[in-house]
Amino acid sequence: MSITKEDVKYIAALARIDVPEDKLEGFTKTLGDIVHYVEQLQKLNVDNVKPTSHAVPVGNVLRPDVIKPSFTNQEALAIAVEAKDGSFKVPLVIE
């Protein structure tokens, strides 16, 4: 399984990253090398092996539903790139 420039463009679009033409070749090569490297896992028989998503088994963790102090609107917006009327502001999406 090799990675083509078209694959990289497709993955980049999924990841919301814009890869300029002059970087495409480099990313295609390094990503191809890594995918080739991880393909060694195909050699192993994993039939009947359960996947591990967490080394320490954790299920749903519940806590009592108690109201605690949290950020004020002002504190939360203090880090905003742009804010208006108590909200984060983004570029106009719909005319």
Partner 1 sequence: MSLHQLTAHDLLDVFKSRQATPKEAYDAVLERIKAVDPKVKAYVRLAQHKPEFKGEFQIPIAIKDILCIKGEETTCASRILKGFISPYDSGVTQRVKKSGGTILGIVNMDEFAFGSSCETSCYGPTYNPWDLKCVPGGSSGGSAASVAADEAMWALGSDTGGSIRQPASFCGIVGLKPTYGRVSRYGLIAFASSLDQIGPLTKDVRDCALLMNIISGYDDRDSTSVNEPVPDYTKALVNDVRGLKIGIPKEAFVDGLDAQVRRSVEEALDLLKKLGAIVKEVSLPHTPYAVATYYIVATAEASSNLARFDGVRYGLRALPSRIRKNALVDMYEETRSKGFGDEAKRRIMLGTYALSSGYYDAYYLRGQKVRTLIKNDLDEVFKDCDVIMTPTSPTVAFKVGEKISDPISMYLSDIYTIPANLAGIPAISIPCGFSKSGLPIGLQLMGKAFDEEMLLRVSYTYEQNTQWHTMKPKI
User: Binding to partner 1 by residue 79, rule CB under 8 A?
Assistant: yes
Q: Using a CB cutoff of 8 Å and minimum separation of 24, what contacts does 4-12 make?
A: 4/28
Given 4, 7, 24, 85, the residue binding partner 1 (CB under 8 A): 7
Which is nearest to 78 in space by CA: 68, 86, 67, 69? 86
User: Binding to partner 1 by residue 66, rule CB under 8 A?
Assistant: no
- Positive or negative torsion for Cα 22, 24, 27, 29: negative
What minimum distance in Å lies between the beta carbon of 77 and partner 1? 9
User: Binding to partner 1 by residue 12, rule CB under 8 A?
Assistant: yes
User: Binding to partner 1 by residue 81, rule CB under 8 A?
Assistant: yes
End-to-end CA distance of the chain: 44
Given 2, 21, 22, 41, the residue binding partner 1 (CB under 8 A): 41
Burial of 8 by CB count in 10 Å (0-12 exposed, 13-18 middle, 19+ buried)? buried
Given 2, 22, 44, 85, the residue binding partner 1 (CB under 8 A): 44
Given 2, 21, 22, 38, the residue binding partner 1 (CB under 8 A): 38
